[in-house]
Structure 1
């Protein structure tokens, strides 16, 4: 727990052997549950996830075994969640039980979670019995006390994309009633020491969603490849327009934290599953008027391999941004400001496109009527009048295009003002170190400090 809030971490992984195990191992101690999601990898990622999960759950089971030997009846109950040990005997679980649990998790993921069931209670009831709380009682952190295993490996039977893997993790965390759910990539680029800074705005109630931003402080993007830096700034501008969150930048940074409220209201079941999932989620959050915080945070570039193919990434994400933006405008059309914003955006787009087309068509007509191409003297003598008509047409089209651009800029300004209280940037001093302490943790004894 962190400041009396349960915390979960979703770790999407596709062909991340050699990285994902270290990522799971370095998750901070205040995290209650870890959801590594293997997106049908073709290497040893799933084996590495299982081995790491078994080792961590084995270590966390040791205190329970000690309690069982001391006569604690609660700790003596056998584990029913497919863990690597029974609390009572320390023996490995029956292989049939392990197979059944893994089958149950995959079946629930395929039959329930992929179907987009938003009912958290039903999702909890369908999952293996590894929860120590009543799903009906989610009003306080006390209802979340104690999971029988810390790491919950999940595997997709077919590759769905990083957004699909995160969606599955979100759905499981929502079913577990986790207060704050963090996303950490399985490639080791995201520093776990910054997790406390990331979740702080959500825990404190200042935002329902917090995301890292490596572009705020110079030292956080010094090692960022140049082509990514330019592309990121381009997508930042497009995402600002699409979301109305003009204080939020670096939308492609996947280090994020989301509240349970946002998981229940932002429509994550319909979230985009390709690499543009982060942009789509921001638009969904904006449509629900949820607050977003930008947190300065670095990203580490090492030997990991990017799975992005830019020839497909750019057109697919651009199309998604346009569709999601239009959906937000339609959903947000209630109220005078919403309708005015919709009219300004649509009218401005139509006027801009119409004006530009008018200029092009008028120019083509003028070229076709060039005096040098006139067939007869009579046709040539009529060209001055035609030229004046052409100039007038170009001016009208240019004015229409300018009016359209002004309308679009006005709509963006209105959108930014409307959403001004729903997004902000956490301010930290230059060269600030990450916040690593946990307010929930008990302070050390004076004797230990000495």
Structure 2
């Protein structure tokens, strides 16, 4: 069985998910042709669970378009990171010539019933990449802690700038689907292979000129424990996003716009830095000078440093605006699609909480 005449593969990276991975694999819809659970050298019984569920599911499921087993277990010989585990599954899917490749975590936080809503924009030819969006409204974030919500909103803002998808939300969401063509265009060796992988994929897709879609779905959290330490993850990922932002502006499809945006951003940084320097110098040395006339009277004249710093700050702000406008003008657009509970299936503009 295929999905609307397209073969589908699902990659499931897993690390220490012995309690959830079996149920996740069993819950994958029957129209999926290949399931790739990838054990990233877990220290618990995740691999045993994967091999056991693979044996059960391969007896239950019948291969359709592709020959061989439906569930293809893969194990790393060392822990290489969530991104590397995903890339391992992606490589297997490309080797199997799968049309559409989805990714979901092995912790049971992603509802397999939502998979069709990620695949539809790809099958319809609207976009080449679709991802989940848990920030579409208050109803969707109700189970998300305030600290997690803050981290997601902050990283959304940073990833918008870095990726060039200025209407994107929830870039950390690992529930994704991608076409064979877009997946094959990615340089796997250049992608970040730990947490932050999903953000990096977005940056590379924008540089190659691909459209993406947000698909609203609620945040679901159970007994699983996240291994992400946001206090260290956010600063580390912020550094990655900054370096990738510079890379994207140099390598994106529209090089002229990229050059204008990069020059404007760097110009604004220089102007603001010098302006602040002038302002600090004025504060330290005083903002006015004393002048003595021939008649012996003293007058005070404003130091040129104040006006210079104000002008430079204004130039910096204007350069920043030019950079944002130039970069956003090349935004390939994030097609925001409603979730299954909404009456209207599509909305060209972002709505909801953020």
State TM-score, norm by structure 2: 0.88
Q: 1:400 aligns with which of 289, 312, 333?
A: 312
Determine if the alignment matches structure 1 residue 240 to structure 2 residue 241: no
Superposed CA deviations along residues 246-294 of structure 1, whole A, max 9, x for unmatched, are 2211111111001111111132332111211111111100000101011
Shift of residue 335, structure 1, vs aligned partner: 4.7
Instruction: Tell me which residue corresponds to 2:295.
Output: none
Give the direction of change, closer, same or farther, for the CA distance of 1:426–1:362 in structure 2 (3 Å limit): same
Q: Counterparts of 1:46 and 1:366 in 2: how far apart (Å)?
A: 69
* Gap regions ≥5 residues in structure 2: 291-297, 346-354
Alignment of 1:230-379 (within 5 A): 230-332=150-252, 335-366=255-286
Give the direction of change, closer, same or farther, for the CA distance of 1:10–1:365 in structure 2 (3 Å limit): farther
Q: Counterparts of 2:329 and 2:121 in 1: how far apart (Å)?
A: 22
Alignment partner of 2:61: what SS? helix
Shift of residue 211, structure 1, vs aligned partner: 0.5
Shift of residue 21, structure 1, vs aligned partner: 0.8
Alignment partner of 2:166: what SS? coil
Shift of residue 334, structure 1, vs aligned partner: 5.2
Q: For the Cα contact (< 8 Å) 1:244–1:412, is it kept in 2?
A: no
Q: For the Cα contact (< 8 Å) 1:12–1:162, is it kept in 2?
A: yes
Superposed CA deviations along residues 204-252 of structure 1, whole A, max 9, x for unmatched, are 1111100110111332211111111111111111111111212211111
Give the direction of change, closer, same or farther, for the CA distance of 1:432–1:13 in structure 2 (3 Å limit): farther
Q: Counterparts of 1:42 and 1:366 in 2: how far apart (Å)?
A: 64
Q: Counterparts of 2:318 and 2:253 in 1: how far apart (Å)?
A: 21
Instruction: Tell me which residue corresponds to 2:335.
Output: 424
Q: Counterparts of 1:269 and 1:430 in 2: how far apart (Å)?
A: 39
Normalized per residue, which structure has more strand? 2
RMSD of aligned alpha carbons: 2.6
Instruction: Tell me which residue corresponds to 2:34.
Output: 33
Superposed CA deviations along residues 377-430 of structure 1, whole A, max 9, x for unmatched, are xxxxxx986x833xx3233223212321221222112222211x4422113575
Determine if the alignment matches structure 1 residue 156 to structure 2 residue 68: no
Superposed CA deviations along residues 166-192 of structure 1, whole A, max 9, x for unmatched, are 111111111211111111100000000
Q: Counterparts of 1:425 and 1:209 in 2: how far apart (Å)?
A: 12
Q: For the Cα contact (< 8 Å) 1:268–1:281, is it kept in 2?
A: no
Alignment partner of 1:218: what SS? coil
Q: For the Cα contact (< 8 Å) 1:162–1:275, is it kept in 2?
A: yes
Q: Counterparts of 1:181 and 1:3 in 2: how far apart (Å)?
A: 14
Q: Counterparts of 1:345 and 1:266 in 2: how far apart (Å)?
A: 27
Shift of residue 161, structure 1, vs aligned partner: 1.4
Q: Counterparts of 1:348 and 1:227 in 2: how far apart (Å)?
A: 32
Deviating beyond 6 angstroms after TM superposition, the runs of 4 or more aligned structure 1 residues are: none
* Gap regions ≥5 residues in structure 1: 65-143, 372-382, 435-450
Give the direction of change, closer, same or farther, for the CA distance of 1:185–1:214 in structure 2 (3 Å limit): same
Alignment partner of 1:224: what SS? coil
Q: Counterparts of 1:160 and 1:384 in 2: how far apart (Å)?
A: 71
Alignment partner of 1:42: what SS? coil
Instruction: Tell me which residue corresponds to 1:183.
Output: 103
Q: For the Cα contact (< 8 Å) 1:289–1:422, is it kept in 2?
A: no
Shift of residue 55, structure 1, vs aligned partner: 1.1
Alignment of 1:61-76 (within 5 A): none
Q: 2:302 aligns with which of 381, 388, 399?
A: 388
Q: For the Cα contact (< 8 Å) 2:127–2:211, is it kept in 1?
A: yes
Q: Counterparts of 1:275 and 1:212 in 2: how far apart (Å)?
A: 16
Shift of residue 145, structure 1, vs aligned partner: 2.0
Superposed CA deviations along residues 27-81 of structure 1, whole A, max 9, x for unmatched, are 01111001111111111111111111111112236xx9xxxxxxxxxxxxxxxxx
Q: Counterparts of 1:288 and 1:255 in 2: how far apart (Å)?
A: 21
Alignment of 1:168-207 (within 5 A): 168-207=88-127
Q: For the Cα contact (< 8 Å) 2:151–2:230, is it kept in 1?
A: no
Instruction: Tell me which residue corresponds to 1:46.
Output: 47
Give the direction of change, closer, same or farther, for the CA distance of 1:157–1:240 in structure 2 (3 Å limit): same
Q: For the Cα contact (< 8 Å) 1:34–1:152, is it kept in 2?
A: yes
